[in-house]
Amino acid sequence: MTAVALDEPAVTRPRGGVRTVYLWELEKLTAQWRIRAVAAVCLLAPFAFVLALKTQDTVPSDTLFGRWVHDTGYAIPGVVLGFAGQWAFPLLTCVVAGDIFAAEDHHGTWQTILIRSRTRGQIFTGKVLAAATFTVVVVALAGAGSIAAGVLLVGHQPLVALDGSLVSSGRAAELAALSWLCVLPPALGFTALGVLFSIATRHSAAGVMGPVLVGLLMQLYAYVDALDVIRHALLTTPFDAWHGLMSATPYYGPLVEGCVVSAVYAVVCLAAGYVLLRRRDFTKG
Amino acid sequence: MNRLLGCAATAAAALALLGGTAGCGAGPDITSPRLEHAIGPTFRNLFVLQQTELHGTDNMPSPDTWANCAKGGRKSGGSGPGDDWVCLVHWPSPSGITQPIAYEVNVQPTGCYRAQGPATLVGQQRIRGADGQQHTNPLYEFDGCFDTT
């Protein structure tokens, strides 16, 4: 416990420490080829998906909006969201979140950064903000990529919504953007889960794969006919909340519930992560 | 490690509490009234869309939003997800008589469903429109979702 006493000089708490840590983390992230590759894949994968669809007559009719992929480009963001969103988002967000604390363990740099004049709280906040920023960027890139791929490669015809009503081109673009916005809360929830795994396991691979595994298990549960109550409390359920928007008579119940569930996961995971980091003795190296 | 377990226990307790409040007093997520309320209006909208594709304009009388859904061979009602739902909807036949037709419906636990209609009545997957082009037949098979909260 000596480390706690040493690195918390309450009197000379440096100002702007979070900002410094945050900017430094962002600089480290943008310098990694791995992170750049993930960003590029998010933007370009929808284009590859649409091009693959265009070479064949069959449609992915087992996915919502799947049977409309040749009729309007606005079906593409919905298909990508339903098809890849569920399992891809936990992986994409945890590529950074699961690694951002464990990387310091991997490189053995905790002692180095803790003797700088930044508190553990500031380092924690800066790193979490950097991971959250990456999540927002990844979701934005994939959303923009899939809307652009749909509109550019298929067209901007009106969209048949989930209640059978015809949605005009402009409104369909709005709905596509809004539905991608709806996956941000659970994606950020998985970011928090990644942060917790990263701190708790002190191992990058576990930090990245742990939340992905949790996500897969939750999805598995969602597709078996079991207790409905538990399904409402799973972090993967909010990934479907956008369905409610795709209608002339939209419903927001799942969206509100999803935001609450995601917030609870985020708060619990971040609090647990912070407590673990705060009390950890790094002097043993 | 004890601390980790403590955290996990706290998290589990918080989630249980959340789940408890979310589902407090509520019945099952998937019920026949919910499905009927979703599939009836959706069928009506898609029927109008199909007539517009076929004839250029929608001059057929548009059906009402009535639907009657039943699960697993019952006469009416039922609850829970499954691919054994059958929904009756009012279909205005080309002869002008409105008759009930049956859709086989697969309902997911998430509240989304896929309905497949009788192709002999509502047409095949692709239909020739008034403009001579092939169109996706909206009534052959369609998806929809409803609120499960």
pLDDT at site A253: 94
> What's the pLDDT tens digit per position in B70-83?
998 887 788 999 99
Q: Any idea which residue has 């930044």 for tokens?
A: A118
Tokens of A225: 């006919």
DSSP code, position A15: T
What is the rounded distance in angstroms from the CA atom of residue A218 to the CA atom of residue A207?
17
The question of ipTM being above 0.95 is answered as no
| Residue A125: per-residue pLDDT | 95
CB contact under 8 A, A222 and B22: no
Stretch A148-171: mean pLDDT: 94
Q: What is the pLDDT of residue B107?
A: 94
Question: Do the chains contact at B147 and A279, CB–CB below 8 Å?
Answer: no
Q: Is A198's pLDDT higher than 80?
A: yes
How many whole angstroms separate alpha carbon B79 and alpha carbon A199?
43
pLDDT on residue A5:
45
Token look-up 């002999």 returns: B120
Measured from the Cβ of residue B49, the count of other Cβ atoms closer than 10 Å reads 22
* Helix, coil or strand: residue B86: strand
Domain boundaries, chain B: 28-145
- Per-residue model confidence as pLDDT tens for chain B (149 residues): 455 555 555 555 555 555 555 544 467 889 999 999 999 999 999 999 998 888 887 676 778 899 999 998 887 788 999 999 999 999 988 888 888 999 999 999 889 999 999 999 988 888 888 888 888 899 999 999 999 98
* pLDDT confidence bin for A3, thresholds 50/70/90: very low
Q: In this structure, what DSSP letter does residue A10 have?
A: S
Contact A64 B11 (CB under 8 A): no
Sheet holding B98-107, edge to edge: B67-71, B82-92, B98-107, B112-116, B141-145
Q: Name the pLDDT band for A223 (thresholds 50, 70, 90).
A: confident
Q: Which residues of B touch A241 (CB under 8 A)?
A: none
Return the minimum-mean-pLDDT range out of A101-105, A132-136, A143-147.
Answer: A101-105
Residue ranges per structural domain of chain A: 15-284
Residue A251 confidence (pLDDT) above 80: yes
A282 vs A161: which has the higher pLDDT = A161
Q: Which of the four pLDDT bands, split at 50, 70 and 90, describes residue A110?
A: confident
Q: Does A13 have pLDDT greater than 90?
A: no
Strand pairing report for B98-107 and B134-136: unpaired
Could you tell me which chain B residue has the CA closest to the CA of A71?
Answer: B136
- Nearest-neighbour CA in chain B from A225: distance (Å): 7
The SS3 assignment for A12 reads coil
